[in-house]
Amino acid sequence: MSKLIATRAIRGAHKLVARAEKELKQAIEEKGPQTKVEFPNTGYYLPISYGMLGLNIETLAGLKELLGQAKKLLPPIPENKLWLPYLGHTLDAGMATLFADEIIEAIKYTQKPLPYLPEPNPSNEHLWLGAANDVILRERGIEFVDGTAPGFAACVGYCPSNDIAVRIARELQEKNLYVFISASTDGKSMAQQLQEEGVQMGWETRLVPYGNDVTATVHSLGFATRVALSFGGVQPGDYERVLRYNKNRVFAFVLALGPVDDEKHAQAAGAINFGFPTIADTDIDQILPTGICTYEHVVSPVPHEKIVSKAIEVRGLKITVTKVPVPVSYGPAFQGERVRKDEMYVELAGQTKPGFEYLTTKELDEVEDGKIEVIGPEIDEVEEGSTIPFAIWIEVAGREMQPDFEPILERQIHDFINGANGIFHLGQRDINWLRIGKEAKQKGFKFKHFGSILHAKLHGEYGKIFDKVQIRIYTREKEVLDLIDTARKVYQQRDARLADMTDEAVDMFYSCTLCQSFAPNHVCIITPERSGLCGAYNWLDGKAAHRINPTGPNQPVNKGKVIDELKGQWHDINEFVHHQSHKTLEFFNAYSIIEHPMTSCGCFECISCVLPSTNGIMTVYRDFTEMTPSGMKFSTLAGNVGGGVQTPGFIGHSKQYIGSNKFIRAEGGAKRIVWMNKDLKEELEPLIRKIGEQEGLEGFFDMIADETVATTEEEVLAYITQKNHPALSLPPLF
């Protein structure tokens, strides 16, 4: 019965709070109360205390208040007889545990050397990554938003064998779930088991080793808290909404593997506060009645072969996975995997051999659905370690198919193929580059399986717009070279067509409310000249998505009467935004950063904001973690921009939008840009040079400051004054 769980969780909480108290006292004695504590590169302070209590903890001394809160929550341990109600107490003990965890983890970040590797992926020497930074949060956030990642599994402990650990990890990956790993038992952890088996871990493969210590489990819940704060627009300290948001949006659960001690029970109690149930492989008793979680709270013991499906069922999660008939594991989690040269069996196309990928429309009677041909040698006939030419030629047919959809479908080849475990894909069109790992080859992966993947996935995701698809794989130089020009001609035509497409040329735009699952009041309006702020959806994508799912998050929106041509305001768009934002936004200007700008969910690639004294704006890409001239890091800026609120002077947008003619046209366009982070500036160099030419501004590219020349607004002003930047002579922004 669940009293046992309550007793152990409460006991665990007492132990962890005592440990936090001891370690905090020691840290303050050794390092001084004013020593800074922070998880690196985040605008969310220590996320649990920030989210639950609204505390902005920045020093060791600041942790004392959190400790006080934890102690206040600590309940008595239930009596053996005549006990008092313990469920509320257990949940409070769980929260006290998370507070204690956060204290202990925060102290770790004051240690030298840092016990964590603050990178997206572990190295051979450093397995444990610690808290995710905001760059990761935003990059990965979009996957939680659009459903690519339906949730996460927080795995604690270890499996009885490495094989089982790999099997469970693979199964979770195949179900598209993130796997957050923490808390070793008797020095053993699932992450170490995966490492021993050579499984590639890190954010890119969705297998995230947080930390060896039981307290590192808090990073899972901290991530969940930040999702609510950044994408859900929940205010710090509004614990009710943070927790409700997680119960109803972030479908996570805990897998307790191996023996579960008091401290791990306490973590489970903390997770239940978030609506995350625990499923254990050992017999730790159960809490079946529902209410805090959607369904059961603790289920045990569950055999390993059923533990993943049971966990998904208990969490109330519906995952539809297209079954891909290939002899290797398949799922988006494998998309981030790399195949290193020494692991590679064969390399396809790339820099030394020709190759391309092409998708075209045919008549229905010209296509035989499911036909896959390999023209040229199969993998068995290719020498290990060699590089060969490689082309993929896809023909689709169907009543709903339009040439406009061809590039959209073609672009999916990258993600689809990368989903196979042990296969690596990069680039697109005629710059494709693939590797097949030795292990995949050993498991029986053949070239024809590229066809199997594409057939299954294209049907699974785009089946509504075509009926048949056939695929040819070319592995011989002659055929590849014969066909490459045909493909190239079409690429050029497509580019020209897209470049010609303007907002004026269409009657309707597409909405994107995909992110309303996370940011309930945010509405993206995608126009031909302003792609979705995540960079993942352009106008044509919106059109195709609407065709695929007519009632889905991408709806056509008539522009209606023009209200303001320059700023990009239309009557019907205003109405739509007003309605879809649940009456929080009345007006919307597509081309302004100052007046009723478009809101953001939190998934933006870039943020632009006004630097008042320069009469210009700065633009920063999400990977840039240093301080910007606005006085805020990207993470802090993101906090100001996200959550579906109009913030004059700030917009979130895609990289591509910078090169658009409609980029903040109301304020004068891209010539307002006075600062960009260097990587972004260099990446967009051709685009920026083009803008300079169009505007007749010689040397415009060099007039834009970056972090190498200016890190404060004053320095930017000095730099652009010296360069005579055009922003200085534009009308005042305000």
The burial of 631, by beta-carbon neighbours within 10 Å (0-12 exposed, 13-18 middle, 19 or more buried), is given as exposed
> Which one of the spans 117-125, 165-173, 450-458, 515-523 is the region binding other proteins (CB under 8 A)?
515-523
**Vertex 61 angle, CA 214 and 44, to 5°:** 65
Which two tokens mark 470?
């056939």
Shortest CB 598 distance to other proteins, Å? 20
Residue 505 within binding range of other proteins, rule CB under 8 A:
no
> Interface with other proteins includes 71 (CB under 8 A)?
no
Interface with other proteins, residue 464, by CB under 8 A: no
Report the nearest approach of other proteins to the CB of residue 286 (Å). 9
| Nearest distance from C-beta of residue 297 to other proteins, angstroms | 7
Query: Token pair for residue 387?
Result: 């590089």
State the number of binding residues for other proteins (CB under 8 A): 56
Is residue 76 close enough to count as binding other proteins by CB under 8 A? no
**Count of CA atoms in the C-beta half-sphere (13 A) of 26:** 12
Phi first, then psi, for residue 701 (nearest 5°) are: -55, -40
Distances in Å between the Cα of 732 and the Cα atoms of 52, 566, 609, 613 are 42, 17, 15, 10
Q: Is there binding between residue 102 and other proteins (CB under 8 A)?
A: no
Q: Are 227 and 132 in contact (CB under 8 A)?
A: no
Binding status of residue 85 toward other proteins by CB under 8 A: yes
**Beta pairing class for 152-157 and 207-211:** unpaired
Interhelix angle 218-231/262-273, rounded to 10 degrees, is 10
Contact between 81 and other proteins by CB under 8 A: the answer reads yes
Interface region with other proteins, contact rule CB under 8 A, candidates 57-65, 161-169, 219-227, 292-300: 292-300
> Are 706 and 627 within 8 A, CB to CB?
no
Other Cβ atoms within 10 Å of 495 Cβ, number: 11
- Report the DSSP pairing between strands 606-611 and 562-564: unpaired
- Which region, judged by CB under 8 A, interacts with other proteins, from 1-9, 40-48, 365-373, 530-538? 1-9
Contact call for residue 499 and other proteins (CB under 8 A): no
Which of these ranges, 185-193, 231-239, 531-539, 681-689, lies near other proteins under the rule CB under 8 A?
Answer: 231-239
Residue 655 interacting with other proteins (CB under 8 A): no
Smallest distance, Å, CB 526 to other proteins?
19
Q: Does 92 bind other proteins (CB under 8 A)?
A: yes
Task: Find the helix or strand (DSSP H, E) in which 253 lies.
Answer: strand 253-257
Query: What count of Cα atoms within 13 Å lies in the side-chain half-sphere of residue 509?
Result: 29
Minimum CB distance to other proteins, residue 585 (Å): 18
* 376 near other proteins (CB under 8 A): no
Q: In the complex with other proteins, which residue's Cβ is closer, 270 or 649?
A: 270
Considering the complex, what minimum distance in angstroms separates the CB of residue 86 from other proteins? 4
| Strand pairing report for 355-361 and 390-397 | parallel
- The least CB distance from residue 175 to other proteins, in Å, is 13
Residues numbered 674-703 forming contacts with other proteins, rule: CB under 8 A: none
Cα separation of 63 and 68, whole Å?
Answer: 9
Query: H-helix or E-strand containing 621?
Result: strand 616-621
Each residue 127-166 as x (binds other proteins by CB under 8 A) or -, in order, gives -------------------xx--x----------------
Minimum distance of other proteins from residue 172's CB (angstroms): 17
Strand partners, 436: 346, 423
**Which of 39, 45, 50, 86 is in the footprint of other proteins by CB under 8 A?**
86
Q: State whether residue 325 is helix, strand or coil.
A: coil
- Tokens representing 645 are 């609120």
Q: Provide the minimum distance between the beta carbon of 11 and other proteins in the complex, in angstroms, as a whole number.
A: 15
Q: Measure the CA–CA gap between 120 and 142, rounded to whole angstroms.
A: 16
Residue with tokens 């066909």: 483
**431 contributes a contact to other proteins by CB under 8 A:** no
Task: Single out the segment in contact with other proteins by CB under 8 A; choices: 197-205, 256-264, 317-325, 593-601.
Answer: 317-325
- Least separation in angstroms between residue 398's CB and other proteins is 24
**By the rule CB under 8 A, 583 interacts with other proteins:** no
3 state SS of 45: coil
Residue 318 found at the interface with other proteins (CB under 8 A): yes
| Cβ–Cβ under 8 Å, residues 203 and 120 | yes
Round to whole Å and give the CA distance between 190 and 117: 18
Q: Which is nearer to other proteins, 327 or 460 (CB)?
A: 460
Q: Which of 138, 249, 425, 662 binds other proteins (CB under 8 A)?
A: 249
Burial class (CB in 10 A: 0-12, 13-18, 19+), 615: buried
State CA 302 to chain mean position distance. 30
Residue 235 near other proteins by CB under 8 A: no
88 binds other proteins (CB under 8 A): yes
Judged by CB under 8 A, does residue 290 bind other proteins? yes
Nearest to other proteins of 87, 730 (CB atom): 87
Residue 52, interface with other proteins (CB under 8 A)?
yes
Decide: is 323 part of the binding site for other proteins (CB under 8 A): no
Site for other proteins in 593-652 (CB under 8 A): none
Query: b vs e for 36-72, b when ≥16 Cβ sit within 10 Å of the residue's Cβ?
Result: ebebebbbbbbbbbbbbbebebebbebbbebbebbbe
**Beta carbon nearer to other proteins, 79 or 196:** 79
Q: Which of 21, 65, 313, 343 binds other proteins (CB under 8 A)?
A: 313
1 binds other proteins (CB under 8 A): yes
Residue 87 as a binder of other proteins (CB under 8 A): the answer is yes
For tokens 């020095």, what's the residue?
187
- Answer yes or no whether residue 118 interacts with other proteins by CB under 8 A: no
Element (H, E) at 468: strand 468-474
Candidates 54-62, 79-87, 161-169, 524-532 — which segment interacts with other proteins by CB under 8 A? 79-87
Q: At its nearest, how many Å lie between other proteins and the CB of residue 338? A: 29
Q: How far is the CB of 316 from other proteins (least distance, A)?
A: 5
Report how far Cα 247 is from the mean position of its chain's Cα atoms: 19
**Residue 707 in 3-state DSSP?**
coil
- In the complex, the smallest distance separating the C-beta of residue 83 from other proteins, rounded to whole angstroms, is 5
Q: Cα separation of 663 and 374, whole Å?
A: 45
- When binding is defined by CB under 8 A, the residue of 33, 316, 427, 463 that contacts other proteins is 316
C-alpha 137/C-alpha 125 separation (Å) is 24
Q: Annotate 80-141 with three-state secondary structure.
A: CCCCCCCHHHHHHHHHHHHHHHHHHHHHHCCCCCCCCCCCCCCCCCCCCCCCCCHHHHHHHH
Q: Segment contacting other proteins (CB under 8 A): 90-98, 396-404, 405-413, 466-474?
A: 90-98
Q: Which of 117, 317, 645, 697 binds other proteins (CB under 8 A)?
A: 317
Q: Tell me which of 71, 244, 438, 690 binds other proteins, using CB under 8 A.
A: 244
State in Å, rounded, how far the first CA of the chain is from the last one: 66
445 contacts other proteins (rule: CB under 8 A): no
Judged by CB under 8 A, the residue of 116, 128, 239, 621 near other proteins is 239
Place of tokens 């680039």: 427
Stretch that binds other proteins, among 83-91, 359-367, 525-533, 582-590 (CB under 8 A): 83-91
Which of 28, 70, 74, 95 forms a contact with other proteins (CB under 8 A)? Answer: 95
Q: Is 245 in the site for other proteins (CB under 8 A)?
A: yes
634 neighbors 618 (Cβ within 8 angstroms):
no
C-beta neighbour count of 502 within 10 angstroms: 13
Binding site for other proteins (CB under 8 A): 1-3, 6, 52, 73, 78, 81-92, 94-95, 146-147, 150, 232, 234, 239-241, 243-245, 248-249, 251, 273, 287-292, 294-295, 297, 312-313, 316-320, 516-517, 520, 552
